[in-house]
Chain A
Amino acid sequence: MAFRQVEYAVKERFPDMPEGFTMREALSRVRSLEPGLSWDQIEKSLEAYEEYRYGGALHPSGEHPELAELLRSLRRRW
């Protein structure tokens, strides 16, 4: 799942993040540094992921170019 990769990328990019960070907190921090990304789409993807993970919805399918863009951004700075 793309969000697993986002989690690892966030940890590498921000080694000072406390162990107890949530995905929303992590994305909020990235957003303050990278406001130009497709944040509306990223938020929708996160909501779909949360609904799958905690709400019992079906696994979200399809391409997620916004998450690929987010990952590239996190790794570029590193």
Chain B
Amino acid sequence: MVALPSLRDKVLEEVGKVVVSKQRETELLLISLLARGHTLIEGVPGVSKTLLAKSFSECMGLGFRRVQFTPDMLPLDIIGGFVFNMKDREFEFRKGPIFTNILLADEINRSPPKVQSALLESMQEHQVTVEGHTEGLPSPHMVIATQNSVEFQGVYPLPEAQLDRFMLMIGIGYPSAADENAIIKRNLTGIDTQAIKSIVGPKELERALREVADVKISDELVDYMARLAAETRADERVELGASPRAMVHLSHAARAKAYVSGRSYVIPDDIKELAVYVIAHRLKLRQRSVLLEGTVTSEAVVREIADRVKPPR
């Protein structure tokens, strides 16, 4: 197996033509895709969440659909449904926008739980079932969902079961002064979204997906992940710790991270670095901890846990 650091470099360069200073976030999207996961992007309005997701999809050369989630949506707006064909005089299944490689679910928390849960089966099983009729989704299939972190009115927070299906959550904050300067200048001349070319062919991507599955992860690293998971459940500030699914996601993501770093084996740093992106959004902190330690966040708790669990060295 030949690992591919060049794939990461190509993707970072291409997305960087349009999106300013989002190398880390772009790499995480690539890791999620190669690990066959889904990604949630959270941030305040106007920090390029949608632009990042769209640019990434375009440069990967995959089928792409964008759905703006709204309060009046219905599940069939996402997954599709049966419509009556007047000509043939029978019902036929009409596929919804989810039948694509990359689905951008924009502002996912604006739609009611019924619509959010319509995504559940597809995210986990890579298939859709309507009235007993099952349709497989194209491969690879990835949901990139965005949500606004500051709005509390008119939004429906994603339930824990739904959050657990996202392999990674990427938080995007405000840019530095230097980056903001670059963003303003780039927008003065107009962003050329056509500048992004599809730089990864289907064969290259297929090969990468296959090879990521061959990346070696040693038993002591699996044990390290299990100890991290146990620690999240034992921490007194945490009401709901990392699920077994979280650890499965972490192992897949660590393999993809090793692959894009040019290695055919996972090292402890892959796991420690990704732990916050894979675990934090799944933790539910005790209300008492949040009230007593006003600044405590799930991310901070995961970082503390990763700092006290001894990795293999």
Binding site for B on A (CB under 8 A): 3, 7, 18-25, 50-51, 53-56
Contact = CB atoms under 8 A, between A and B. Distances in A.
Contacts of B307: 18-21
Size class of the contact patch on chain B: 20 to 34
A51 B218 CA distance: 11
A20 B310 contact: yes
Contact of A54 (B265, B272, B306, B309): B265
A51 B261 CA distance: 13
11 contacts: A18-B308, A19-B307, A19-B310, A20-B306, A20-B311, A50-B265, A53-B218, A54-B218, A55-B216, A55-B264, A55-B265
Interface in B192-237: 216-218, 221
Interface of B: 216-218, 221, 263-269, 272, 306-313
Which label, helix, strand, loop or mixed, suits the secondary structure of the A interface?
A: helix
A56 B269 CA distance: 17
Contacts of B308: 18-20
A55 B266 CA distance: 8
A1 to B, nearest CB: 11
B311 A54 contact: no
Contacts of B267: 22, 24, 50, 54
Interface centre among A20, A22, A25 (most CB of B within 10 A): A20
B307 to A, nearest CB: 4
Contacts of A25: 269
